[in-house]
Amino acid sequence: MTFIPPSLAGRHLRSTLLGLGIGAATISAQAQTIDPGLWELTSEMKTPGQADTQQQMADLQKQLESMPAGMRGMLEKQMASMGVGLGANGAIRVCITSEQASTGGMYDGKQEGGCTYSNVKHSGKTITGTMTCTQPAMRGDFVSTLHSKSHFATQAKLTGSDGLTEMTAVGRRLSTDCGNIQPAKR
């Protein structure tokens, strides 16, 4: 059995959440045009020499399943306190409230998930811009497309000390009911 101590699992989760931060920011970007409820975010982040985020989350999920119940519960509580639940195949689930869905929006200077957005332009169902992130330090451009009120996709190319990172994030609304996943505090 492979065991991940809570501190290491937390680091895996934080790095994966950063990767999914673009997807979460896209939810914020589309805030005035998406429906509230339970959303599932999947991402694929490719950085030379590193495992992609979707694989990291799938591995973490398998390891959570094999942990003793008490330790698994502790990690699930930690994730829930961040407003996050695990979906299938390494996906992350988040709850978007009506208030969050009706406010926010992406704009120059907005900070979210350790990233600051600039050069943000809205054109129809597409949002483009530049991201500057602090942990890890990366900078690059993103394009987000709202396919419907319950589906979006984002692509980004970011450059940092590890070289070029390419990311794709997809968000889909699963339900009007968030179940046991509480909305993240902003």
3-state secondary structure labels for all residues of 106-155: CCCCCEECCEEEEEEEEECCEEEEEEEEECCEEEEEEEEEEEECCEEEEE
pLDDT of residue 28: 56
Please give the share of the chain, as a percent, with pLDDT higher than 90.
Answer: 14
pLDDT of residue 173: 95
Question: Between 16 and 80, whose confidence is greater?
Answer: 80
Mean pLDDT throughout 161-184? Answer: 87
Q: pTM value?
A: 0.73
**pLDDT over threshold 60, residue 8:** no
Do 88 and 42 form a contact (C-beta atoms < 8 A)?
A: no
Mean pLDDT throughout 131-136? Answer: 85
List, in sequence order, every beta strand (DSSP E) within 12-101.
37-46, 85-86, 92-96
Q: How many helices (H) and strands (E) does the chain have?
A: 4, 9
Question: Between 136 and 126, whose confidence is greater?
Answer: 126
pLDDT of residue 5: 34
First vs last Cα of the chain: how many Å apart? 37
Closest by CA to 43, choosing from 30, 26, 29, is 26
Return mean pLDDT, the chain.
Answer: 76
pLDDT digits (tens, 9 = 90+) for 19-66: 445 555 555 555 556 889 999 988 887 777 666 666 666 677 777 778
Question: Between 28 and 176, whose confidence is greater?
Answer: 176
pLDDT digits (tens, 9 = 90+) for 108-122: 778 877 888 899 898
Mean pLDDT throughout 164-175? Answer: 90
C-alpha triplet 167, 106, 23: angle, nearest 5°: 30
Beta bridge partners of 116: 111, 132
